[in-house]
């Protein structure tokens, strides 16, 4: 595979760079690296991030691989990655923390949504006018997502939902949500799930913020109490929710793995030049240089793995389980790189307050937020299970409950 730009890609890169130069300022070393999506307070940052998404959309770069009929560019996933690489050099708000979910929901609506409402939602969601959240995890169902207990009961042309979701990013701001719920508890757990879209402003939805260790409250508990949703909001067949959610999560993991890490490595090299070990710049220490080189090698590995995935997407093939490799390596890499920055900074690395900390506290804040990619979208261990079972063909994880009816499992299942 040739990793250099083709002439068309080079032309796209030049166009993207020219547009960015005309519409944004270059990033300087002290500005937030904006690597981790849950580091700051999303509610406060959202208006600026949304305005940037709207500008990108209007400029033809906000929905690159979506068809023109929905306001997209009709481009490729590789062009999306090229734009992300170029954008990383500019001081612009991160938009991934809402656009990953928005893009996933739009792709889902294009694939499964057959009703006029579904199509009406795509353009404003790609533009950033509508914000989506994903109502999947529950207190007893995170890694074991097929264990969700939220009940979906049919009542004429409507469904009635009761249950609790947790860790729902942006639910307090969202206009729409995608929801996984149990429509049949008498069959094995993967077979009794259905998938819906829900208007988050409906009566019967209550959100309660969760305070994060970074100080922000970007995710929530969500309580569904006799929430009524028309059957027109069902996506896919009744009982086929597992298939829908698996393809949705593959897209999310792929998007997480597309994160641009080169600015983080460049910032780490700058830091190693600034701080001293034994009276000499840290960069002169062989051990420091070895760590930096190691980060660079792993970053290149993730980038090329992601390019394989994007090539598959460009050929209209389904991205494979290799996405799990990208997500797994990237998640640990960000955490290790930010921890290394704190080591280099010594005691100063522990100062969080932007007003007093070196570089406005960007490194300790990024480190605190770095746990996100090791959990959100599926934990490291679950990625290892995917790699072991679906890539390496190793024996399956023990799943004693796979064939039993869900309501025979105990623990309140019904």
Ligand X SMILES: Cc1cc2nc3c(=O)[nH]c(=O)nc-3n(C[C@H](O)[C@H](O)[C@H](O)COP(=O)(O)OP(=O)(O)OC[C@H]3O[C@@H](n4cnc5c(N)ncnc54)[C@H](O)[C@@H]3O)c2cc1C
Report in angstroms how near the CB of residue 50 gets to ligand X at its nearest: 18
C-alpha distances in Å from residue 125, one per residue of 53, 76, 110, 133, 303: 10, 19, 12, 11, 27
Nearer to ligand X, 252 or 299 (CB): 252
Name the helix (H) or strand (E) containing 132: strand 132-135
Report in angstroms how near the CB of residue 188 gets to ligand X at its nearest: 17
Which region, judged by CB under 6 A, interacts with ligand X, from 48-56, 334-342, 345-353, 375-383?
375-383
Question: Which of 61, 136, 340, 363 contacts ligand X by CB under 6 A?
Answer: 136
- Classified as helix, coil or strand, 133 is strand
Question: Which of 149, 376, 386, 406 contacts ligand X by CB under 6 A?
Answer: 376
Nearer to ligand X, 8 or 397 (CB): 397
Question: Which of 267, 378, 386, 406 contacts ligand X by CB under 6 A?
Answer: 378
Q: Are the C-beta atoms of residues 216 and 39 closer than 8 Å to each other?
A: yes
Question: Which of 31, 164, 379, 407 contacts ligand X by CB under 6 A?
Answer: 379
Q: Does 381 bind ligand X (CB under 6 A)?
A: yes
CA gap 50, 330 in Å, rounded: 26
Q: Does 137 bind ligand X (CB under 6 A)?
A: yes
Nearer to ligand X, 218 or 307 (CB): 218
Query: Which residue lies nearest ligand X, judged by its C-beta?
Result: 142
Nearer to ligand X, 22 or 398 (CB): 398
Q: Does 46 bind ligand X (CB under 6 A)?
A: no
Q: Are the C-beta atoms of residues 119 and 109 closer than 8 Å to each other?
A: yes
Q: Does 375 bind ligand X (CB under 6 A)?
A: yes
Question: Which of 34, 109, 193, 382 contacts ligand X by CB under 6 A?
Answer: 382
Query: What's the gap between Cα 310 and its chain centre?
Result: 16
Q: What tokens were used for 244?
A: 């829908």
Question: Which of 39, 102, 169, 207 contacts ligand X by CB under 6 A?
Answer: 169
Q: Are the C-beta atoms of residues 324 and 253 closer than 8 Å to each other?
A: yes
Q: Does 242 bind ligand X (CB under 6 A)?
A: no
Residue whose C-alpha is closest to residue 256's, from 31, 53, 104: 104
Nearer to ligand X, 70 or 253 (CB): 253
Residue numbers annotated as active site: 252
Query: What's 336's DSSP letter?
Result: H
One character per residue 391-410, x = contact with ligand X (rule: CB under 6 A): ------x-------------
Q: Does 195 bind ligand X (CB under 6 A)?
A: no
Question: Which of 167, 195, 340, 363 contacts ligand X by CB under 6 A?
Answer: 167
Of 300-319, binders to ligand X (CB under 6 A) are none
Residues 6+ positions from 59 with CB-CB distance below 8 Å: 19, 23
Quickly tell me which residue has 């307090």 as its tokens: 172
Which region, judged by CB under 6 A, interacts with ligand X, from 59-67, 191-199, 321-329, 378-386?
378-386
Residues 6+ positions from 7 with CB-CB distance below 8 Å: none
Of 104-133, binders to ligand X (CB under 6 A) are 133
Q: Does 193 bind ligand X (CB under 6 A)?
A: no
CA gap 355, 216 in Å, rounded: 17
Q: Does 168 bind ligand X (CB under 6 A)?
A: yes
Q: Does 134 bind ligand X (CB under 6 A)?
A: yes
C-alpha distances in Å from residue 278, one per residue of 284, 347, 351: 10, 15, 22
Name the helix (H) or strand (E) containing 314: helix 286-314
C-alpha distances in Å from residue 95, one per residue of 55, 84, 111, 242, 255: 12, 11, 23, 28, 12
**Contact residues: ligand X, CB under 6 A:** 38, 133-134, 136-137, 142-143, 167-169, 219, 372, 375-376, 378-379, 381-382, 385, 397
């Amino acid at each position: 595979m040739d990793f250099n730009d083709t002439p068309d890609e080079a032309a796209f890169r030049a166009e993207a760079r020219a547009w960015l130069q005309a519409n944004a300022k270059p990033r300087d070393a002290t500005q937030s690296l904006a690597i981790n999506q849950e580091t700051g307070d999303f509610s406060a940052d959202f208006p600026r991030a949304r305005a940037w998404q709207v500008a990108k959309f209007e400029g033809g770069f906000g929905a690159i691989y979506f068809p023109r009929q929905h306001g997209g560019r009709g481009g490729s996933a590789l062009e999306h990655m090229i734009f992300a690489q170029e954008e990383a050099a500019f001081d612009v708000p991160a938009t991934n923390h809402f656009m990953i979910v928005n893009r996933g929901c739009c792709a889902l609506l294009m694939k499964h949504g057959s009703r006029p409402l579904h199509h009406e939602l795509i353009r404003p969601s790609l533009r950033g006018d509508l914000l989506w959240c994903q109502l999947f995890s529950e207190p007893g169902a995170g890694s074991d997502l097929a264990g969700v207990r939220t009940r979906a009961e049919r009542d004429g042309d409507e469904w009635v939902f009761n249950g609790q979701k947790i860790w729902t990013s942006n639910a307090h701001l969202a206009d729409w949500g995608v929801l996984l719920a149990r429509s049949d508890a008498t069959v094995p757990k993967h077979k009794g799930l259905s998938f819906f879209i829900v208007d988050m402003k409906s009566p019967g939805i209550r959100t309660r913020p969760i305070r994060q260790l970074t100080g922000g409250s970007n995710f929530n508990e969500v309580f569904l109490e006799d929430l009524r949703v028309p059957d027109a909001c069902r996506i896919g067949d009744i009982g086929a929710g597992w298939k829908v959610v698996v393809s949705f999560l593959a897209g999310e993991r792929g998007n997480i793995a597309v994160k641009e890490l080169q600015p983080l490595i460049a910032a780490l090299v700058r830091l190693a030049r600034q701080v001293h070990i034994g009276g000499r710049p840290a960069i002169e220490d062989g051990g420091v240089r070895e760590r930096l080189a190691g980060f660079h090698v792993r970053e290149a590995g993730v980038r090329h793995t992601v390019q394989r995935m994007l090539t598959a997407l460009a050929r209209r093939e389904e991205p494979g389980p290799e996405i799990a490799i990208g997500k797994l390596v990237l998640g640990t890499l960000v955490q290790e790189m930010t921890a290394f920055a704190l080591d280099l900074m010594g005691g100063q690395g522990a100062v969080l307050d932007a007003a007093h900390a070196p570089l406005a506290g960007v490194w300790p804040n990024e480190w605190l937020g770095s746990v996100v990619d090791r959990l959100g979208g599926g934990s490291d261990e679950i990625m290892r299970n995917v790699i072991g079972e679906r890539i390496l063909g190793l024996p399956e994880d023990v799943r004693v409950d796979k064939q039993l009816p869900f309501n025979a499992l105990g623990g309140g299942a019904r």
